[in-house]
């Protein structure tokens, strides 16, 4: 598959709401040797429902460490994770994906967002962000 067609394929599959094609196109995206060039698309996919690759996308974004991901993590944390019900995971488990992304980015904006969500009314999110913030403080 040509690299320049990967983004088009992902966007078309999501637009058409074709579950099989969504999975194939996201798999092709994640297998791309130039994955870092698709950071903006990965950011969008992090908060896009109707696919089953959120955890792998979160892990990829953690490795990329782009500050452009921070607003997307914030949007994800603002949801009640309904779009991630397919994972059968509690909020603390899901929040861990996002806390690791922020921890990996590690800039002031990322740390500020972690701090903000230590006060989340969702105890799973709050506990995970407190844990991650303590890890940051022990490093610095």
What percentage of residues in the chain have a pLDDT greater than 90?
Answer: 88
In this predicted structure, the answer to whether residue 77 has a pLDDT above a threshold of 80 is yes
pLDDT for the residue 62 = 97
pLDDT for the residue 140 = 53
Mean pLDDT of 99-115: 97
In this predicted structure, the answer to whether residue 116 has a pLDDT above a threshold of 90 is yes
In this predicted structure, the answer to whether residue 3 has a pLDDT above a threshold of 60 is no
Q: Which of 12-16, 69-73, 83-87 has the highest mean pLDDT?
A: 69-73
The 3-class SS string of 17-54 reads CCHHHHHHHHHHHHCCCCHHHHHHHHHHHHCCCCCCCH
Q: Helix axis angle, 91-105 relative to 54-64, nearest 10°?
A: 20
CB 84 within 8 A of CB 45: no
Confidence of residue 139 (pLDDT cuts 50, 70, 90): low
Length of the chain equals: 140
Q: Which two tokens stand for residue 78?
A: 């603002």
Confidence of residue 117 (pLDDT cuts 50, 70, 90): very high
In this predicted structure, the answer to whether residue 65 has a pLDDT above a threshold of 60 is yes
Which residue in 97, 105, 102 sits closest to 114, CA to CA? 102
Confidence of residue 137 (pLDDT cuts 50, 70, 90): confident
CB 108 within 8 A of CB 137: no
Q: Encode 5-17: b = buried (16+ Cβ within 10 Å), e = exposed.
A: ebbebbeebbeee
């Amino acid at each position: 598959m040509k690299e320049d067609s990967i983004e088009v394929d992902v966007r078309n599959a999501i637009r058409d709401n074709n579950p099989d094609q969504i999975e194939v196109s996201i798999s092709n995206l994640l297998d791309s040797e130039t994955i870092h060039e698709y950071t903006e698309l990965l950011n969008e996919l992090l908060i896009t429902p109707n696919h089953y690759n959120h955890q792998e996308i979160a892990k990829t974004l953690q490795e990329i460490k782009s500050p452009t991901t921070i607003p997307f993590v914030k949007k994800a944390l603002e949801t009640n994770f309904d779009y991630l019900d397919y994972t059968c995971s509690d909020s603390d488990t899901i929040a861990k994906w996002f806390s690791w992304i922020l921890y990996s980015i590690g800039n002031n904006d990322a740390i500020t967002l972690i701090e903000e969500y230590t006060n989340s009314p969702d105890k799973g999110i709050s506990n995970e962000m407190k844990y991650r913030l303590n890890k940051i403080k022990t490093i610095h």
